[in-house]
Chains A and B, each alone.
Chain A
């Protein structure tokens, strides 16, 4: 794999649909711009932003040529990993830049990297395990739905089921479980 790395890197980078990440980046820039104008950081947007970032990373797994490539010796799992090697650092860099901007306005924000990582890992695990035709859609939907449900439940009641806020409260447990699911499904 090391020998072929230079060969696969460039075409894989070009095959990845970057538009979802670019779209979310524009949205996050808009949030930063608005926050700068108002002089206050919108903490409530954080979950939605994390969900959007994770969904955009998973959306990069969409492969229009998957059918044509379905019988090549480089397995779908390996092609997925190669995409994630490019997508995850890009998504996390974007997320860190967003947090850096937030810390300038509100130092209390801190550096909540865990929830974004947990949501990305969960989305990827779902995309690995869902049937091919729905894989990416399912993986994209999960971080969005999870953050939306957590926020909705949070607004309704104090006794939020723990699972709804698990990505926020126990992000590294969620990440570990999701990575385990990814590894178990590596040949799918």
Chain B
């Protein structure tokens, strides 16, 4: 794949994970160094399972993982990886009776940061970086959904981990907070994140992987994903039955994906067009 990264932080070779007879992740390979890698795909595509394997929470049934140049199947290496890793799960539960500060400080304790003064400064730093300075001493039960998400994000970022694994980090965030998240992630070293927000991938990620049914169906840059739809997007006042996908735009025109008819009014593709085309091809 094309990548702007240098040293390899994350190497996944033919990794498979089964639940019963279902292959949630089926022979996935991925390599990444510094930068932000986006994982796209519909619900049930295997993104969360893949992220949980990269976060060392799940062990693969087959294939090989190498994280931060260490083998997570070895218990000692796994602990070392976890010292240098931050993980935000899809639906992070929190302790409602804790304050945001208490929770992040507790995570720092569990990340083996024993220096109280260092923890105090680091906890304040990460809470400030996610914009929670004003509410850091409020009980979590009193915080909004978006604030809780940012508390969990702050917990994942304690100690400036070398590898951040984020499962839908923008969940519950308003547009302003999403922008804040973007600037935050661009300062991080290696980030592997899943999202349903395609524009986020375009704005943030140096590389993107698209998964369907447990397999990677596309690996490349956001520009390359967009280019998949080049010459295959057109607009018209009426719906074209030959299009493989059509929808009404805010201007009232129909936007079509597929093989354009002669004389069609072609338009520039977007990242969404590339993804939707890939998704439709997958389901045909």
Contacts and interface: CB of A to CB of B under 8 A. Distances in A.
Contact of B55 (A7, A71, A73, A75): A71
Interface string A41-78: 00000000000000000000001111111111111000
B82 A67 contact: no
A14 B95 contact: yes
A11 B94 contact: no
A166 interface: no
A64 to B, nearest CB: 4
A148 to B, nearest CB: 30
B91 interface: yes
A151 interface: no
Contacts of B85: 71
B91 A71 contact: no
B114 A73 contact: no
23 contacts: A4-B109, A7-B109, A8-B109, A14-B95, A14-B98, A64-B96, A65-B103, A67-B89, A67-B92, A68-B87, A68-B88, A68-B89, A68-B107, A69-B110, A70-B52, A70-B57, A70-B87, A71-B57, A71-B87, A71-B165, A73-B111, A74-B110, A74-B111
A75 B207 CA distance: 32
B283 to A, nearest CB: 31
Interface in B76-112: 79-80, 82-83, 85-89, 91-98, 102-103, 105-107, 109-112
Interface in A68-116: 68-75, 79
A14 B112 CA distance: 19
A38 interface: no
B112 A73 contact: yes
B280 interface: no
